[in-house]
Amino acid sequence: MSGRERSLDALDRAILEATQAGLPIVPEPYKAIAEHVGASEVEVLARLQAMLDRGVVRRIGFAPNHYKLGLTCNGMTVWDVDDDKVDALGEIVGVLDFVTHCYRRPRHLPDWPYNLFAMAHGRTRAEVLDKRARILELLGAACRSSDILFSTEILKKTGMRLARRAREEASCSD
Amino acid sequence: MIDETDRRIVNTLQDGFPLASRPFAIKARELGIDENDLISRVARLRASGVVTRFGPFLNAENFGGGFCLCAMSVPQDKWATAVDLVNAQPEVAHNYRREHRLNMWFVLAVEDRDEIAGVARRIETATGLAVLLFPKEREYFLDMRVSA
């Protein structure tokens, strides 16, 4: 039995499936979802609150398109940091206000020596390069090499989609 | 173009949307505009693509699922085909072109974390290109919000 069966029942799934393309943009959006899934509005609100409390839902809100807000520069900065120092330094880099996410990930040697990833956004490349320089100062001698990968195009941005049962079964029989 | 009110809406609604019968009315009051104005502005921001998603954001790790950052090195002559093949996978949550030899970076989001390797293999078979996996080993801080 997998974790999702333990924590998402049929009504949870139905609510998430009904909202994953977006909340209805109407005065009473949860009532519209309730009608769609055949539950009461009170129950839909309670289920969503419970999923927020369990962390199944991280938050309810907007994901903006950075490009359309003028943050046309997005640089994924990557760093080769000493293994015994990467966690302490990652915590410091992660709280910088211009870093939206910061992770430790595996290296792929010899081509990819970088184990620390920090995403920086800005209005110009110069602004993002300045942010990279500030991260470098913090990392100091613990960093052996680094690179920056500017994004040039969003190819897809839909977020996570729950699989329909039918498709899941089809893909299992592939 | 978006105006100052739109920017305030984007900033406020990144932080959260109320779980209540009339959530737009609550947020409209906070923003000092009326409910109908907020609803029509949200619809416009969504339609114009300034807002790419509006609703619950799932954390798959808390129900058995998982995410994995992946990268591919796609030759120019295979680019368009590879974009179509990768984007066609429902598990691909987002995909970015980046300036590097590894020029395509996408995130797989799956409901069962054991599926990641299989989806990556499916993409390798479809495209004929290697997929490098960069699973998160540790997350230091996550604040997806940006200031509009």
Among A48, A70, A160, residue whose Cα is nearest residue A124: A70
End-to-end Cα spacing for chain A:
21
Return the pLDDT at A161.
76
* Cβ(B113)–Cβ(B65) below 8 Å: yes
Residue A56 to residue A33: CA distance in whole angstroms: 18
Nearest to A16 among B56, B83, B140 (CB): B56
Return the pLDDT at B148.
62
Taking an 8 Å cut-off on Cβ atoms, the answer to whether A151 and B98 are in contact is yes
Q: Which residues of chain A register pLDDT less than 50?
A: 1-5, 165-174
Is A93 in the B-facing interface, judged by CB distances under 8 Å? Answer: yes
Q: Tell me the domains of chain A and their CATH numbers.
A: 3-62 (1.10.10.2890), 67-150 (3.30.70.920)
Walking along chain B (148 residues) 10 residues at a time, the average pLDDT comes out as 90 90 97 97 93 87 88 97 96 95 96 92 97 94 62
Return the pLDDT at B145.
60
Q: How far is CA A116 from CA A105, A143, B59, B141, in A?
A: 6, 10, 22, 12
Please list every residue in chain A whose beta carbon sits closer than 8 Å to the beta carbon of residue B21. Answer: 28, 30-31, 41, 45
Number of Cβ within 10 Å of residue B79's Cβ equals 13
Give the pLDDT confidence of A19-59 residue by residue, as tens digits: 988 999 999 999 999 999 999 999 999 999 999 999 899 89
Is A151 in the B-facing interface, judged by CB distances under 8 Å? Answer: yes
- Quote ipTM for the complex: 0.76
Beta strands in chain A (DSSP E): 57-64, 73-81, 99-104, 116-122, 143-157
Positive or negative: CA dihedral B44, B88, A59, A17: positive
Q: Name the 3-class secondary structure at B68.
A: strand
Please list every residue in chain B whose beta carbon sits closer than 8 Å to the beta carbon of residue A59. Answer: 15-16, 56-57
Among A2, A167, A99, A24, residue whose Cα is nearest residue B56: A24
Kindly report the nearest CA distance between residue A126 and chain B, in angstroms.
16
Q: Tell me the domains of chain B and their CATH numbers.
A: 4-47 (no CATH), 60-134 (3.30.70.3460)
Is B75 in the A-facing interface, judged by CB distances under 8 Å? Answer: no
Return the pLDDT at B60.
80
Taking an 8 Å cut-off on Cβ atoms, the answer to whether A22 and B17 are in contact is no
Return the pLDDT at B143.
58
